[in-house]
Amino acid sequence: MNSYRYQDIYSKIKKSIETNHYRAGKLLPTQEQLANEFNVSRVTIKKALNCLEKENLIYTKQGSGTYVKPRLDKFPDNETLPLDYPVGVTYSHRDAKIKNQILKFDARMPSKKEKTALELNDSDPVYDIRRLRFVNDKVYSLEHTIIPTKIAPIDTKILEGSLYDYLGKRGLKITDAHRIIQALNATQKEAELLKIKEDTAILSINQVCYDQKARPFELSRSIFIGNQSKFGLDVHLD
């Protein structure tokens, strides 16, 4: 029961915006009026409005009022994948048929770079995983993942499903990720695996994942076929 007053109010106002009860570009009632309507203090209204503002649904102008933002409709085509959410295919293609082919599953000691990036001790081994991912039986991406073995025991069965779901169930939550994106020409080997011609443009995403305590727990590189994958990103500047 995650039931706080401000969350309740937040949901109700949000619904009112979505159902066009509060019209885009128009003023919301004053915070005072809302406070009366919901029988709470103005501070609580403000908290709810702050959530809406963070979600880009409204904006406030001091001395003038609170306005509803016109709806910017995200990514209408399901082809476009959000770049600001976990890379795993499972999150994006909810309704599609996902398959993972495991090309490599091994454990070894980390390289110097890996040890540094994952903040490991000399005694900590890592899993070294390569997977080819299919969406609706079509080759979709190639992933290389490094995870310390101490994070969680992993087997091939898990790797055929969603790794993030598995880790999530064990209490490990991704809260931050650091990504580096680059366009490259596919090497011969990459092209072979992705069933494309050599030198076809691919999108490469290097990622470090962090948990809530900012401890790194995964290092990965994913590559996608350029003309088959679009990534979208909504930037918000303060």
Partner DNA sequence: TAGTGGTCTAGACCACCTG
Partner DNA sequence: AGGTGGTCTAGACCACTAC
- Interface residues with a second copy (CB under 8 A) are 25, 56, 59, 67, 69-70, 72, 80, 83-86, 174-185, 199-204, 210, 212-215, 224, 226-227, 229-238
> DSSP labels for 22-58?
SPTTSBPPPHHHHHHHHTS-HHHHHHHHHHHHHTTSE
Q: In this structure, how many other beta carbons lie within 10 angstroms of the beta carbon of residue 209?
A: 24
47 lies in the site for DNA, by CB under 7 A = yes
Which of 19, 25, 26, 61 is the binder for DNA (CB under 7 A)?
Answer: 61
| Nearer residue to DNA within complex by CB, 34 or 81 | 34
Strand partners, 148: 126
Structure tokens at 22: 């509060």
Least CB distance from residue 48 to DNA, whole Å? 8
Least Cα distance to 153 among 143, 163, 140, 142 occurs for 163
* Residue 98 · residue 89 · CB < 8 Å: yes
28 lies in the site for DNA, by CB under 7 A = yes
Place of tokens 């005694």: 123
46 lies in the site for DNA, by CB under 7 A = yes
Stretch near DNA under the rule CB under 7 A, chosen from 24-32, 122-130, 152-160, 190-198: 24-32
| Nearer residue to a second copy within complex by CB, 108 or 178 | 178
Three-point CA angle 75, 47, 54, nearest 5°: 25
Tell me how many residues contact DNA (CB under 7 A): 23
236 binds, among DNA, a second copy, none (CB under 5 to 8 A by kind): a second copy
Please report, as ranges, the residues that interact with DNA according to CB under 7 A: 4-6, 28, 30-32, 39-44, 46-47, 49, 60-66
